[in-house]
Amino acid sequence: MPKSDEEWKKKLDPKQYHVLREKGTEMPFTGKFLHNREKGTYTCAGCGAELFSSETKFDSGTGWPSFYESKNAKNVELKKDNAYLMSRTEVLCKKCGGHLGHVFDDGPAPTGKRFCMNSCALEFRSGNKSAGSNNSQKSHKYR
């Protein structure tokens, strides 16, 4: 069932709420996952859906964690976004509707895509384990 704004405010910290629910953008070079090179899975900080694998993460030089492919196309929704006089494609979590970032066409092979993500919209689970529905267990924090 969709959560109300009040429920989201209880679940998320203010920065996560701003990005996920108000389509904010974190400052470049500030995100906790920018330099993370551990193997594992990036999940939605809102609902735990599996979004990206460490195997598709690359250093884009933009200051935001970047991936050339989503882990499961069924878990992300792409939407035209013409805010701020730019024509961009917004990336949302399909399960909870949270704003994750944008996707651009200047990424590396094999896809040519660059999923430009906000660290605070993501959580990280190290290792190759697949997701349970264990949202109560907090992923470990990087700072």
116 is an active site residue: yes
Using DSSP's 3-state secondary structure scheme, residue 119 falls into helix
- Give me the DSSP letters along 41-90: EEEETTT--EEEEGGGEE--SSSS-EESS-S-GGGEEEEEE-GGG--EEE
Assess 121 for contact with Fe ion (CB under 5 A).
Answer: no
Count of C-beta atoms within a 10 Å radius of residue 41? 22
User: Which one of 44, 93, 116, 120 is the catalytic residue?
Assistant: 116
- Binding to Fe ion in span 7-66, by CB under 5 A: 44, 46-47, 49
- What does the block give as tokens for 23? 């389509």
Looking at beta carbons only, is 32 or 63 nearer to Fe ion? 32
Selected from 95, 104, 108, 111, the binder of Fe ion by CB under 5 A is: 95
Residue count at the site for Fe ion (CB under 5 A)?
8
Question: Which residues make Cβ contacts (< 8 Å) with residue 2, sequence separation at least 6?
Answer: 97
Looking at beta carbons only, is 96 or 117 nearer to Fe ion? 96
- Residue 139 carries which side chain, given as an amino acid letter? S
Count of C-beta atoms within a 10 Å radius of residue 18? 18
Window 64-93: contact mask with Fe ion (x via CB under 5 A): -----------------------------x
Looking at beta carbons only, is 63 or 95 nearer to Fe ion? 95
Looking at beta carbons only, is 12 or 34 nearer to Fe ion? 12
Q: Which residues are catalytic?
A: 116
Q: Which residues bind Fe ion (CB under 5 A)?
A: 44, 46-47, 49, 93, 95-96, 98
